[in-house]
Structure 1
């Protein structure tokens, strides 16, 4: 029986025919006839020649087990993808059969599925992801079956292992490393494993007790033998245990405590790379998750960790040396632009940013590259090219390995395997395939070089540093030659840092990084307008990161970021203190476009959503950390944009307010999820949450500054007698009060990056003695019958900022109704003036004209005087001009007053100019960390205009 005619080129067609004849010869007449009948007219009949020609491994397996081909054809498994649970379920059934020899079962099962996997891959019935998934699932099923057998075998002799403290039964946790951990296993790969168990203890046998370590060593050894040993039926998977602590010289198994101690005290950078893909594939899921939680801090630092570039560069140099020594230039894994370089790029980004961007804490390389694109960690076009190249390289790897079931990544040198590879890869000939392959490898190598500069280039830059700027040669004359002015003072600052205990106790690597960085910092500061001042402000940051010198590497690897750091520190001590307090913000300096571009509210909300949406809503700490970084990063962007003149005052306040609003909305969502998970939903007639947050003061007026707190009021609309619908039901009033408390907790809890905002709730009805959250009806009753005039003044600046829009609209309508109530203007004026006098006396004592300073906010003719006049106007005239009650910000209210003829247009212009000028000056003073006071002679014309209008409105009611 010959194969049907094929489109295979020679010599592949002849090879297929030869291989088929050997299969038939082994099968014998009866089985050959069955094969012929099963193949006739089937898809397999068309596919078989290509598989036999391109995979001598499949041909040889079918020659030795011709019945296997018949089984696969009849089952239909060659033509369909299998469900994830298929491998484990079918193998468990086979090994549990009476009289089953587990060694034989495992090897036959492996042979069957490797034929199927290679067949589907070579015919392109399966894409790359299915091929690596199925190979990984096959390995997991084999590990599970072998481990179950090995454990039962040892337990029968020595008893069950028990935890010393818990007394609970212990199970071996098999950590799959590398490609198996990511379910990306090659079609002919070994499996990298680490063995662990939860607790020390002993087995419960009375006759032959063993320590848990001894027991699990026996189990591990038996597991390895069942998988790795080569018998007449072959092997299952080659097992590599060299990734365990101390490698080949280390114990075969470790308990959790020993693993944690090892990685904390002795773990090396290459082990961090290895553990990125680590995944438990056996044992109790709860204990397995416990182990991963223990390992997570070693793998992912809480800060942006640019130090990994150095170690990755060193690892790559070692690989390159090995490639040169062994002549592996044609190795598509280790060679130029190979698979390892794609993996290094993805893992480098993971280790740099994964501690902060948890979405990067994934195992699968393609998923990681997609996250890199989504998060902006790498350009989307780069990620797309890397994904395309990776898939092509992995398909090439499978074509190499599936040819003879050998763990190799070397391109073939002979004609026949080259023809087979080109055909499997869909190319007309070897040269065409090689052209496409080389193109992918060049692109990968180029992206790798861009991310990880050659060490030679780094050394060349370092060689250009002049002497005398750091270390034993520190010299004031070298500083003078660069343009420093306060020579002795600056030299002494550098000397003090050198001799500080923090520097003296640095480890070798940290000291080397510092010695490399400091001359560059001194040079960079010399390029600023005030070198001494810039260096003075930058040194606290250096001191702050000495124990986390990866931040110094970040600046060394990114010279433009160092330039921006120096510029920002020189321009603002507030920014330099922020960076010193939260060095993680240095990461923001890497993208100059975003650093000097503060996005609008829509983009802010989308960025926050992308950053936090992958976090479970019940992981409160993760959300709190993420929110704090988000706020700090975006406030830094606003400050940087203002300092370089890209944002005028009105936009600065808008941006800072939008940041707060976006954060507030997310805080409410997290708090709501937390409370409803515990107590259920509050029962009410409306469709929304029934809860609204109103911002007062600067928040309400869209005028937040860099250090502003949030004046908030919580209002809900639900029946006071109602309750939540959960198992732990509470009254609606209790629920909404706890919701407000949870929000304040999220805002004010101090964490690694401080608190989000200080929250001031004193403007709620009845102030500090009032309920934290009140009903709409209670708010109405209080405002109409109990509120003081100053509380109605505060209501002018109230604005719905988060929560249920229906409740927000209801309360806003109530706010307008209250503001539009007719009032006795004379009584109103007296109360406004009285309140202003009290405030001035309390906050700015002895505010006399002859003082040397003008307090921008509380001084006479300052910000608060303008605000009080605006509030008076709204309360006095909104019943005549309801549009006044529409706005909560002073500028638009002033515009409305002028438009309705209630203030003269020139008066409105003068008050608006004064208001904006004062606030702009206050912003600048805040960035310089100065009190909100200007020289007494400044803003005289503006102050005069404000005071003139004040006297016009309130002269009869003031003592002046």
Structure 2
């Protein structure tokens, strides 16, 4: 006896029980007929197929007679195996075994069963016009509307009309699905399937509009057109997808007609999308209309003309690429297409148009949940959207001057791009094959419950069912499906990198055939330059020169660069300054071209190559350091190499340099400093580790370098003729607070003390001259050189500033602070931190200044002086013409506001609150909040503004390699700053908004708290 055995024992037993029940319903021995059982077992889910058939048969009016007739038997009576019409029955079972949603439809409408046992005509229609016309007649006929009129009105309206429309739609869908699922090679007909689905959606909108017209505009005075966008407009719709539309009204419409048109549009949406006894078809999405959900649902042609002329954003023109009139008034619809279709290609030539589109694509990818990314058919790396994006981007670049590649349909676009030489014919074919396969998989994911979905199931049983619905022969396993999908995804990813830039390489080096006739323009020098310009290269001719230099010849270096440069060019253009990145890459390659490891790393390590690109395009500062130390590029192959060095280990390294090189060690210490500075900068640019730790890491590094350099200088300069002495360097300002950035000078004071306090005048003079020489040598030797970054020691914060001695004795500091110290100097000492020199002197200096900066009480006069000085500084030190909202240090709510507020708290309360005795701003602010000296919410506002201003200063320095005084307002600089701070691409204005909001809040707190205390 034939039985189902291919499933798990439980599933097989369940399927066989359903077959037995079918026999009972029919009174026929089908369950024992091996041919029938084979048909059931061939379905994606035999258990579901058997259950679905049983459910449908139980709803038939005349028991099994209808099924017997439909099955191909000659007439009533017992059926024999010879009577089975195997292809037709197989179509039926394939649908029942794949789509529970269609089973539900047949249960609701069992008389539709016969539709599955007929050859459907929809995939046999040869032209789009024929398909659209046939489906329009079918669905309009279902609601009793005359399809041959320009403004059909339905006879069946209300809930009856809606039910008729929705059932007719699903009846067509049922027959289409049967053709699709029963096809030997579904990839070959997927374009026909999507075209029919698109035309079916258009016909449904026309029928829904006919109902709305009959209900709201029976005289047909309203001239309203429906314009489809997205997949519907391109005739590549899925089984389940939102249908994007905009509504257009004739320009001469009255206010009353506008009101009725709006009601008709709303009604059309409800007819198709609202819940009902007959389930909704799909969501009609109008979010792409001008001004989105906040804009009017219906606009006139003249209003659209004004909007697209003066207001529309670049992405809105991109959406017009797939615009197509699908329902309503044909003249209004065609006028819309004729008027706005050409504007796509005009807008595509705007500066930043292509870059904006690419940024939107990156944002979409970034929003994919990490857990879903590997299972995404549509949005993931190498998925459907990458194919669509690649084709559309090339169209937008080259379609500006070539109308032969202007088509909204992805497969047609790929064919045109290949035919006209913008991509290789083989590449076009490979893209198309991947796209066709992935569209089939996407459809098979949606068909079971007719739900919008683009995720491969992670359940093994569901994956197996999906694979059996995709493959009709051979191994129909989940493993085969996943392997095939991965292969296509890898191919798409590779092609995505290659098709944009490989022709540019060919054109740049003058490969044979690169410049060809007018029908193959894609790799001409002009087309290459156009493509580079569109992808963000401001100097495409210069870029072509660099590309030629990098890839010309048959050397190993040139051959490897040819392999990796397409991807690098793409990554450069994803950044902010691709021209600078390409030039820097050329310089880096020139430095390392003889290093086999470098070429191997570029070729074999995707992480290293992409990291190189990211650094070169985002950070001029890190790039400069890298070009000075090119071997450090090896760190990018393993991010563990970028981890912060333990200060003790680094200190031991500097001690080793001192031991080996004695007084000449400063240059090597500076090289060590430069190397570790690069490590920190690379970690920061690539967002490896905690960005909040960077100021502390930079400060620790500077401490070690200055300490080691001081020892080297003294080893070089000290001799037996110099009286014994102690010497110390005291860090001030942001260095003293361990808050430095890449922008910071090293504010410092120098102090010394003779071991013998009874030196005579000559000895004291000699020692004074010597320690000044030590300070000057320390300062000059630490400055940058051609091979290494340096440290600029700045002693302007010393007592009496530039008018005072560069180096003072400890006794002189005692005397000065006892007699002459001003409140501002006590405030400056809040950040004083000895960092180098003799321990006993640094300890005594700290003990000397603590009573000054942490006084037992702050006199009213001193308090007033600090407040007055702050107000004067805002007026006098802010550069002329500077925007007070954007200045990072002296602006409203920026660094100065926060630091002065915190320092005033320290001056007033550090004597009694030991936790305030810190040189760092944020820890002091936290302690003040914990001690109740400032409300926690106010402290949080101040901390947020201070941190953001600090981060922005460092990020701008990283990008352009020089100090920033204000929040950038130039687009590329603001964009780079945002990306370096972890914002997504295209979020520069978001950073601007965040900064202005944070500093506005901080300013309000400062004005209340600083002057209130």
State if a TM-score over 0.5 links the two structures.
Answer: no
Normalising by the residue count of structure 1, what TM-score does the alignment of the two structures yield? Answer: 0.45
Normalising by the residue count of structure 2, what TM-score does the alignment of the two structures yield? Answer: 0.42
Larger gyration radius, structure 1 or structure 2? 2
